[in-house]
């Protein structure tokens, strides 16, 4: 067992350093979320500027994800070995320089290199934030604070998109990209000046690169429990990627005859619900000291909400309210990160979080085109193709039912042991 460092972050200098790390890492996550959606703010002008067709522009924009997804596991491995500070600084710099390169050129190949650099830097944001939360704060605060990181990303991106589209209209996309590039440099500067490394097993690690990779991957990718949780997370996250992120508005306009603006507004409820639900779910889970049945209950309620929106004759208001609820209970999928990392040693937290995230993002790369293909095969019937959304979420509930609720001793702090000895013992036991 790895000794549990003092992660109580109760106040004083340690408390300040912990909260500073939380704010900087959340700001980096929010920032990378803005950079990923930024090209969508003025697709036609940007495509025309680089002389690209719609599909060429789509490919240019999606380069972000092609580097972001595989880099997750690399990010997790290096965080566990070297700590987070260097990678938050380097990641935010790469993200920012990628945006600046994109705006400085009129050659599509150079813009593509900029997009790859942005995706590369961005890949460190989410995993670093959860790694810092894990190592700066007590284990009983992980679910709440990781949910809060998610909420910052979601609300920041939602509000940022509205603000930035206004600015793009007023000042043009290149100036807005220049501004966001500079904002990234400001985050890197804040990290250089204020981000402190927490006490973690990385500080004492002396294994060679090959041995570290072998041991960490064996602990994470070699664990059936981690695989089951990752697939649960992927299926549970599927409505966000597939419904809210791509096809939901199309289904509401074509199947439910909503206007484009009404459909976009209704779909945006998913993100607001998620922001609230990931914080509430995390808070409740930390309070109860349980994860599994909250994931299960959240998934069942999410599936019911999407089933109702897809197949019941409802008013626009009721659709919005149900998607808010679907997003809210969908926010409970953030608990899959806590479940995965808590089952194994503290020294591989970054790799575990990164693995769950990578599988979740891979789901988007599979399901987004799959639903499009199903809709085409069904003669353009999205209502039918989107049955996969509640079906996947229901499947996630079924899978998590068979995942044991288990907490490795590294993730039970001394204070929790002292306060709840019986609960600590129960959590350590494998409960089917």
| Alpha helix stretches (DSSP H) within 331-348 | 335-342
Closest distance between ligand LKAUPR5Q and the C-beta of residue 314, in Å? 27
Between 233 and 282, name the residue whose CB sits nearer to ligand LKAUPR5Q: 233
Tokens at 80, concatenated: 């566990």
Closest distance between ligand LKAUPR5Q and the C-beta of residue 227, in Å? 13
Closest distance between ligand LKAUPR5Q and the C-beta of residue 237, in Å? 4
Chain residues 92-131 in contact with ligand LKAUPR5Q, contact rule CB under 6 A: 126
State yes or no: residue 35 binds ligand LKAUPR5Q (CB under 6 A).
no
| Alpha helix stretches (DSSP H) within 241-348 | 248-254, 260-288, 292-311, 316-330, 335-342
State yes or no: residue 156 binds ligand LKAUPR5Q (CB under 6 A).
no
Task: Determine the interface stretch with ligand LKAUPR5Q among 92-100, 158-166, 319-327, 332-340 (rule: CB under 6 A).
Answer: 332-340
* C-alpha to C-alpha distance for 284 and 297, rounded to whole angstroms: 13
State yes or no: residue 355 binds ligand LKAUPR5Q (CB under 6 A).
no
Task: Determine the interface stretch with ligand LKAUPR5Q among 44-52, 107-115, 160-168, 231-239 (rule: CB under 6 A).
Answer: 231-239
Are 294 and 147 within 8 A, CB to CB? no
Cα radius of gyration rounded to whole Å, the chain: 21
**Which residues touch 272 (CB under 8 Å, ≥6 apart)?**
154, 155, 158, 324, 327
* C-alpha to C-alpha distance for 405 and 429, rounded to whole angstroms: 8
Closest distance between ligand LKAUPR5Q and the C-beta of residue 139, in Å? 20
Place of tokens 């609720």: 405
Task: Determine the interface stretch with ligand LKAUPR5Q among 80-88, 112-120, 230-238, 340-348 (rule: CB under 6 A).
Answer: 230-238
CB atoms within 10 A of CB 205: 13
Closest distance between ligand LKAUPR5Q and the C-beta of residue 415, in Å? 28
Task: Determine the interface stretch with ligand LKAUPR5Q among 1-9, 353-361, 366-374, 402-410 (rule: CB under 6 A).
Answer: 353-361
Are 345 and 1 within 8 A, CB to CB? yes
Q: At what angle do helices 12-37 and 54-82 cross, to 10 degrees?
A: 160
State yes or no: residue 298 binds ligand LKAUPR5Q (CB under 6 A).
no
Are 114 and 388 within 8 A, CB to CB? no
Among 249, 356, 375, 397, binds ligand LKAUPR5Q (CB under 6 A): 356
Among 20, 333, 347, 388, binds ligand LKAUPR5Q (CB under 6 A): 333
Residue 211, Cβ density class (10 Å: 0-12 exposed, 13-18 middle, ≥19 buried): exposed
Closest distance between ligand LKAUPR5Q and the C-beta of residue 365, in Å? 12
State yes or no: residue 396 binds ligand LKAUPR5Q (CB under 6 A).
no
Place of tokens 């067709």: 53
| Alpha helix stretches (DSSP H) within 38-141 | 43-49, 54-82, 85-104, 108-122, 125-136
What does the DSSP 8-state code read for residue 405?
Answer: B
Chain residues 160-219 in contact with ligand LKAUPR5Q, contact rule CB under 6 A: none
Residue nearest to ligand LKAUPR5Q (CB): 360
Where do contacts with ligand LKAUPR5Q occur on this chain (CB under 6 A)? 126, 150, 233-234, 237, 333-334, 336, 356-357, 360-361
């Amino acid at each position: 067992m790895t000794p549990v460092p003092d992660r109580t972050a109760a106040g004083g200098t340690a408390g300040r350093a912990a909260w500073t790390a939380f704010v900087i890492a959340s700001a980096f996550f929010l920032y990378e979320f803005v950079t990923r959606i930024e090209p969508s703010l003025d697709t036609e002008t940007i495509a025309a500027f680089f002389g690209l067709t719609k599909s060429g522009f789509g490919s240019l924009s999606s380069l972000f994800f092609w580097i972001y997804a595989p880099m997750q596991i690399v990010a997790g491995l290096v965080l566990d070995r070297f700590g987070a500070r260097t990678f938050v600084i380097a990641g935010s710099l790469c993200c920012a320089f990628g945006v600046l390169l994109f705006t400085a050129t009129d050659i599509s190949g150079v813009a593509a290199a900029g997009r790859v650099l942005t995706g590369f830097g961005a890949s460190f944001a989410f995993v670093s934030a959860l790694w810092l939360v894990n190592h700066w704060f007590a284990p009983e605060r992980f679910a709440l604070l990781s949910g809060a990181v998610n909420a910052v990303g979601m609300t920041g991106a939602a509000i940022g998109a509205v603000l930035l589209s206004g600015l793009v209209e007023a000042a043009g996309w290149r100036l807005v990209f220049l501004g966001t590039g500079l904002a990234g440099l400001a985050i890197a500067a804040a990290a250089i000046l204020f981000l402190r490394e927490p006490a973690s097993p990385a500080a004492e690690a002396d294994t060679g690169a090959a041995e570290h990779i072998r041991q960490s991957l064996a602990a994470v990718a070699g664990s059936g429990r981690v695989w089951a949780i990752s697939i649960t997370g992927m299926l549970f996250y599927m409505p966000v990627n597939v419904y809210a992120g791509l096809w939901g508005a199309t289904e509401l306009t074509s199947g439910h005859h909503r206007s484009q603006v009404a459909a976009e507004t209704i779909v945006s409820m998913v993100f607001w619900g998620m922001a609230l639900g990931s914080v509430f779910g995390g808070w409740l889970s930390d309070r109860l000291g349980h994860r599994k049945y909250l994931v299960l209950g959240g998934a069942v309620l999410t599936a019911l909400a999407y089933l109702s929106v897809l197949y019941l004759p409802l008013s626009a208001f009721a659709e919005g309210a149900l998607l808010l609820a679907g997003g809210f209970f969908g926010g409970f999928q953030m608990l899959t990160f806590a479940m995965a990392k808590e089952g194994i040693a503290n020294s591989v937290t970054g790799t575990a979080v990164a693995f769950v995230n990578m599988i979740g993002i891979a789901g988007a790369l599979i399901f987004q085109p799959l639903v499009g293909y199903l809709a085409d095969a069904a003669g353009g019937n999205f209502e039918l193709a989107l049955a996969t959304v509640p079906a996947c979420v229901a499947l996630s509930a079924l899978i998590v039912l068979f995942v044991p609720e288990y907490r490795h001793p590294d993730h039970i702090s001394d204070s929790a042991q002292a306060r709840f000895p019986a609960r600590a013992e129960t959590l350590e036991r494998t409960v089917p």
